[in-house]
Amino acid sequence: MVNRSDVNYFGAGPAPLPTVVLEKASQVLLNYREKGIGLCEISHRSPEANEILAEAKQALSTLLEIPDDYDILFLQSGGSGEFSATVYNLVAIWVEKKRVKIAAEVGDDQEEVLKRLRKVVDEELKLDYLVTGSWSLKASQEAARLIGAQHVNVATDARKANGGKFGVIPPEDQWSLTPRTSGGGAALAYFCDNETVDGVEFPAFPKSLEGDDAPLVCADMSSNFISRKVDVRKYAVIFGGAQKNIGNTGIAIVIIRKSLLPPHSTPASPDLLRQLNLSVGPIVLDYPTIAKNNSLYNTLPIFDVWVAGQVMNGLVNTYGTKRIGGQQEISDEKASLIYDTLDKYSDIYRVVPDKTVRSRMNICFRVHGGDADKEKAFLAGAEKQGLLGLKGHRSVGGIRASNYNAVSLEGVRKLVAYLEDFTKS
């Protein structure tokens, strides 16, 4: 039998979890706090469930230093569900702001308000997307499916700057963001902070999206959540699936400005959205509803939240006042060890993304120029060494070493040693 300690798993997700968390999970699944029932069996509306939620929120707030004017939501949507949720919620807010402005100009003439609002929606509603990899591409396609391609502005498509393939982030002066005017601009600007499939990560927050008049920024951080410092105030919405760095598959986490929630912001009514031929989102993706009900509008998988809380509290206890900066130091060190080795043997290995945008989380490379037999040999040899999960995504092939938080420094050193040994074979 292969023991857990015999392998190091570099899969892109679901990703490895800290062994200590899984050991504790095996206990609470059977008997939570000596209640005689397991954690998966307790009511999601019980005091214990509310305590688990509060502890997970506090751990994330501590790690990322989330300001008090932000809320944290837990949903069952996964990251892909949030592609839809951000569109539904932020478009409804944009529409309502336009309606209020028009109503102030024309008074109580509802037919005139609707007529003008239709014109504004047809001519001005835009959502900006920075397409830098497979996931941001899917996000833009979902937006076009929901509200129409005419309302989706792909401000940059990295493939056009890289021979039809992802692997770069074009310079910001080449982006075509929706112009900002006194009357507004795009309803949102979306980017994927780390592209899991393509190994591309934004090195820093885009300067083009900064400023008081900037659009509402939605960032997908599914695969680099709690791996580096984040200035949360720059974002309207941060979201991500938990199954990379935070927990197991089953929940998504949303960090949202409270100014986007009632009573500060009111979304357009479903009836108005229908009159404008805009989509009405499902209630389980409605941020105001989820926030009002403390993420418990429907039955939340509390076990998944518990796992996430345990992982995040482990980091809080490990790094103390360094907070997420402590984990960032380790993540950077592990990534540097792998990239330095790949660059050292550039005649054998080729890193896919440009050096300026290499992901610290998902390290994508080819062996012998993508020779199929040699890449199979590489993967087979790695498996014999207990180095698992290294096969690249089916859409791009090659090799991918995912350097998530639960991947140990020792495990990375074993991978580096194998990279060295393989060059000799």
Q: Is the pLDDT of residue 183 over 80?
A: no
Q: Taking Cα atoms as reference points, which of 242, 217, 234, 226 lies closest to residue 81? A: 242
Read off the tokens for 34. Answer: 């000596």
Range of the domain at 408: 323-424
What is the radius of gyration, based on Cα positions, of the chain? 23
* pTM: predicted TM-score of the whole model, two decimal places: 0.97
- Tell me: do 282 and 156 sit in the same domain: yes
- Tell me: do 273 and 405 sit in the same domain: no
pLDDT at 213: 77
Say if CB 139 and CB 190 are below 8 A apart.
yes
**DSSP letter at 184?**
B
- CATH classification at residue 219: 3.40.640.10
Preceding amide of 170 cis, omega within 30: no
Q: Give a yes or no: residue 316 inside a domain.
A: no
- Tell me: do 136 and 285 sit in the same domain: yes
What share of the chain has pLDDT > 70, as a percent? 100
Say if CB 59 and CB 316 are below 8 A apart.
yes
- Tell me: do 218 and 280 sit in the same domain: yes
Structure confidence at residue 182 as a pLDDT band (50, 70, 90): low
- Tell me: do 193 and 327 sit in the same domain: no
**Number of domains making up the chain:** 2
Q: Give a yes or no: residue 51 inside a domain.
A: no
Q: Give a yes or no: residue 29 inside a domain.
A: no
Distance CA 34, CA 47 (A): 15
Structure confidence at residue 115 as a pLDDT band (50, 70, 90): very high
Q: Give a yes or no: residue 40 inside a domain.
A: no
**Phi and psi based region of residue 169 (left: phi greater than 0; alpha: psi -120 to 50; beta: remaining):** beta
- Tell me: do 400 and 296 sit in the same domain: no
Average pLDDT, the chain: 96
Structure confidence at residue 215 as a pLDDT band (50, 70, 90): confident
User: Which amino acid is it at 296?
Assistant: L
**Terminal alpha carbon distance of the chain:** 29
What share of the chain has pLDDT > 90, as a percent? 96
User: Which amino acid is it at 129?
Assistant: Y
Q: Give a yes or no: residue 15 inside a domain.
A: no
- Tell me: do 214 and 350 sit in the same domain: no
User: Which amino acid is it at 76?
Assistant: Q
The dihedral sign for the CA sequence 161, 166, 167, 171:
positive
* Residue 271: CB atoms within 10 Å: 9
- CATH classification at residue 376: 3.90.1150.10
- Tell me: do 62 and 204 sit in the same domain: yes
Q: Is the pLDDT of residue 38 over 70?
A: yes
Q: How far is CA 41 from CA 267, 296, 299, 346, in A?
A: 36, 16, 12, 53
Say if CB 402 and CB 12 are below 8 A apart.
yes
Distance CA 349, CA 423 (A): 9
